[in-house]
Structure formats: C-alpha cells, structure tokens
Chain A
Amino acid sequence: MTVLVLAGTGLLANGIVRPARATIHPTTNLSVRTLAWEWLGGLRPLGANLAWLQLQGSWQKRSPSEVMAWIRIATELEPQSLYFWVNGARIIAHDLLAWLSPAGHAREVSRRRQAGLALALLDEARAWHSQNPQYWVERATIELNGLRDDEAAAESFRRAAECPGAPYFAARLHALLLVRLGRLEAAHAWLVELHPTLPPHETAAQAELVLGRIRALEQRLNLSPDRCYRMPDEL
C-alpha cells in the first residue's frame, strides 16, 4: 500500500509538473561524477575555490598526480565556471609537460599525450561551455601548440568565431590556419564574408588588416577582377 501511495504521488507530481520544469533545467551530456555533488547546492563554488587553493600548494610541490586530482575536484564541483576548465587544461598541457621535461623524441610524445589529456578535460566542459568563445579559443590553442594539429585548431577557431561575443582574432586565426593548410580559396571566402561585419573604427577588429589579407590572397590565387572582393561602398 505504501509503495502504491508513493507511486501515485510520483506519477501525479511528475506527470503534471515535469514538462514545465524540464524547460528550465536541461541536464544533458553531464558526467555522473559532476552530478553526484548536486546535494551540496550553492556551496559547490566555495568547495571548488578551496580545491583550487589546494591545487596551488600541489603545484608548488610539482606533484602531477595531486594537481590532476585537484583539477578534477574543482571542475566537478563547479562545472559552470570556465575558469577551472581552461586553467586546468593549461596546467595539464604546459606545466605538467615542463615538469616531466623529457628530451628529444620523448618530449614530442609527452607533449602530444599532455595535450590529449588537456583536450579530454575540455571535452567534458563542452556540455556547459559550447557557446563560450573562450572555450573554443583554448581548445584551438592546445590543438595548435600541443598537438600541432592545424586542421583541428582551424575548426576550433571557426567555432569560437561563430559564438556570440567572440574576439575578432578568432576569425582571423581561422583564416590564417586555412592558408597554412593550403586552402586559400576557403580562407579567401571566409575573409570576404568576415570583412563587411567588422566595425571599421574598432582597433581590435583590424578591418584594414583583413582587407589587406584578402587582397594578398586574391593575388596568390590570381583571381579575375569579377571574382575579387568589392567592399560594400564599391558596389
């Protein structure tokens, strides 16, 4: 009887109310470990900050295992904060590599392994931060400097550039990497699409620089005048 009452209560409550709640609490693709801290509620940020402080101590001791553990705890406690993901990934990709400091071919292998670990951490952050350009910029940086994977970095810079509030340099770096990959026409098309959207008087937007790169690409591609980019006021 007790079970029946409980089942009835659950069916009634969840049947009536769940649809409205589902729209304000989407939980998809999150790790079980992250969700296991839910009961701490709003104290999670404090726990994450304390874990990050502990990480500083382990970092000074140069203990990779402890540092990894504290990064894991901080990110699980406060996954909404990009700070822990991005800085954790940087520590894994750069600091831990410097501590291991092997020479020659072994260093190359270590660099790739550490970059892989950093990217695996960032993969977990995607559920929370896929709309944050900083997330994609960090991915691109590690793919570029850690994995030496221009293709993946170009794609991440493109994703960053397409996020709302993206820094202007993300779009320029995407084009630069396309050039480096030999995809000149794709780079040209990207920059032609980008240029009209850049505010002419904003220094960070570098509209003149982008225009210069478009012209340089047109020369390298030997484009006929009708296929060259014309600015809106030239049309």
Chain B
Amino acid sequence: MKPGLALRRIALIAGSTFREALHQRSFGLMLVVALGFTGGAWGFRQFNFGASELKFIADLGLGALALFGALLAIGATVQTFFTELEGRTLHLLLARGVTRGEFVLGKLVGIQLLLALFSLVLLACLLPLLWAREAAIMAAAPAVLFTGSLLSLSGVLLAAGALWLKCGVLTAAVLAVCSFAGSRLYVLVCGFLMLIIFHSGAILTIYRAQSSGIGQWVVTGLKTILPDFAAFDLTSAIFGDATPLAVTGQLILYAAIYMAGFSLIATRLLRAREI
C-alpha cells in the first residue's frame, strides 16, 4: 500500500464528508444558534451580575463554541456516518480498496474541517465584539487605570483552538460508537453522555478520594482511561494568564493521542461489523 495513495483517499473522503456535512440542516442550525449567543452577548451583558463585561462576553462566545461545537461534532458525525452506511456508499468504498482505517480517518478529518469552519465563523463574530467593547471601556475610563490591553486576542484564539481539539476528541469517540451501533438515536444519546462524562474528571477525583477498595480501583481506572475535557479550558489565557508553549504542545499531543486511540478502536470495531 502506497502512503501517498492512502493520504489521497483520506483527503477525498474528508472532502466529501466536509461538503456533505456543510449541507446538513444541523450545521446551519447550530451555526445560527451559536451566532445568536455570541452576537447576543452584546444584549445579554445587560443581565450580567457576576463577572466583568469582557469576561462575560468572552465566556459566552467561547461557551457557545464549546457547547454547540460539541453538539455539531456529535450530530454531523452520526449523520455522515449513517448516510454512508444506509446509502451503501461505504460498501462501494470498501470494495474499491479503501481500508476501514482510511474511511475512519477521512471522516474524522472531514468533521474537523467542518468544526474549524464553525469556529472561524464564531471567532469572526466574537473578536470584533470583544475589540469594540474593550475600546469603549478603555475610552470611558481614565487613562491611568488601564495601560496596554485588557484582554489578549491571541489568548482568545488559543482558547478557541483548544475547544476545537476537544471537539476532535469527541468526534473520534463518536466515530468509535458509530462503528458498532445500529441506530442513529443510540449514537446521539451515547455522544451526549460522553460529552458529560468526559467533563467529569474533577468529579471522579472527588469520588476517588472518598471511596475505598474496589470502588477506588474502578474510579481510578475510569479516570486513567477517559479523556478529561477540563484540560481544554484555556479561557484564563484570554485575560493575560500566559499559557506556556509547552502546555499548548502537550494539549495538542493529548488530543492527538486520544483521537488516534478512538480512531483505532473505530477501525477495529468496523472491521468486526457485518456490512
């Protein structure tokens, strides 16, 4: 098998997946709702009691990116995978020499491209909003109070990039479930549960401290195996907390390992599946 040919096949499947997912209603719906939240931060700030205005807007924009990006990752993956399966194009691809691994990787890359587009559109809305409010706040306050910038735009990009990686891990996990599941609904429910469970690393830490014996072993095992999505929260970078380059690199490695692991599982399960 030539690596160049395999890469070309992966790229073709990725492109096809991207185009198909782009035309789905779920993408448009998620984008409109997420844009509504991000753009609506301007109006929602009237109801902000707890945090500073810029933090509230940044939280809301990145929150919309994280939640609706994750829902899009689940929905688009399920939709494109089962369309291939039910439309029997998967049979055609496999008959033409495409391996299951290439198919899984192509799907993963295609959905990641879609999520990248989703993130870029939201950032294109969020960044001008943050910039405009920062300029307005600094103009209204005495010059001695603020020197330099109130927030780091590169921090916003870093935080958004981390969320994109998180969605990638979720996509790979959903692909693993897709590869053995019989219905879309089952995968959608599993995907949403995984989204919650992968955010529960801190809860597992507490339970591990409180439990003993076999319970402690089980919790430790779960904590070791499952990805911890809290690691992808780099929102502190927005307000000047410098995130070391090494941490960013390790986060990319962390996501890459999980994406590779879940892709491998998806490939193995797809091989065992009767198509």
Interface residues of A (CB under 8 A from B): 1-2, 5-14, 16-17, 20-21, 24-25, 27, 30, 32, 35-36, 38-46, 48-50, 52-53, 78, 80-84
Minimum CB–CB distance for A39 against chain B, Å: 4
Beta-carbon contacts of B246-275 to A below 8 Å, as 1s and 0s? 110011011001101110110011000000
When chains A and B are docked, how far (Å) is the Cα of A215 from the Cα of B6? 87
Q: Are A45 and B199 in contact (CB under 8 A)?
A: no
Q: How large is the interface on B (under 10, 10 to 19, 20 to 34, 35 or more residues)?
A: 35 or more
CA distance A41 to B253 in the complex (A): 22
Q: Which of A2, A38, A84 contacts B265 (CB 8 A)?
A: A2
Binds A, one of B92-100, B211-219, B224-232: B224-232
* Docked-complex contact A81 and B60, CB < 8 angstroms: no
Contact assessment for A42 and B235 in the assembled complex, using a CB-CB cutoff below 8 Å? yes
Give chain B nearest CB distance to A55 CB in angstroms. 10
Q: Which 7 A-B pairs have the closest CB atoms?
A: A42-B63, A9-B261, A81-B50, A10-B225, A43-B63, A41-B66, A42-B59
Complex CA–CA separation, A46 to B44 (angstroms) = 8
- Residues of B contacting A2 with CB < 8 Å? 265, 268-269
Asked if residues B250 and A5 are in contact (CB atoms below 8 Å), the reply is no
The answer on a CB contact under 8 Å between B200 and A35 is yes
Shortest Cβ distance from B78 into chain A, in angstroms? 18
Chain B window 54-73, contacts with chain A (Cβ cutoff 8 Å), 1 for yes, 0 for no: 01101111111111000000
Give the shortest distance, in Å, between B122 (CB) and chain A (any CB): 11
B149 at the interface (CB under 8 A from A): no
**Given known contacts A21-B251, A30-B202, is B61 in contact with A42 (CB within 8 Å)?**
yes
Residue from the set B51, B62, B205, B207 with the largest chain A CB neighbour count within 10 Å: B51
A-side interface mostly: helix
Given contacts A81-B50, A83-B49, contact A43 B205 (CB under 8 A): no
Is the pair B49, A13 in contact by a Cβ cutoff of 8 Å? no
B51 partner residues in chain A, CB cutoff 8 A: 45, 78, 80-81
Q: Identify 14 new A-B residue pairs, CB closer than 8 A, beyond the known A9-B257, A42-B67.
A: A1-B268, A6-B265, A9-B264, A10-B225, A12-B261, A17-B253, A24-B243, A38-B199, A42-B235, A48-B50, A49-B48, A49-B50, A81-B49, A83-B49
Known: A2-B265, A13-B227, A38-B202. A20 touches B246 (CB 8 A): yes
Q: Is the CB of B205 within 8 A of A41?
A: no
Contacts A5-B264, A41-B66 given; does A46 touch B49 at CB 8 Å: no
B257 with A12: CB separation less than 8 A: yes
Determine whether B189 belongs to the interface, using a CB cutoff of 8 Å to chain A: no
Q: Given the interface contacts A35-B200, A46-B44, does A41 sit within 8 Å of B233 by beta carbon?
A: yes
Contact between chains at B246 and A42 (CB < 8 Å): no
Which of B58, B196, B203, B254 touches A17 (beta carbons < 8 Å)?
A: B254
User: Which residue in chain B gives the minimum CB-CB distance to A40?
Assistant: B67
Chain A residues with Cβ below 8 Å from B203 are 32, 35-36
Docked complex Cα distance between A20 and B65 (Å): 25
Question: B66 and A42: CB pair below 8 A?
Answer: yes
A144 to B200, CA, bound (A): 39
Given the contacts A9-B260, A38-B200, A30 and B247 also touching, CB distance less than 8 Å: no
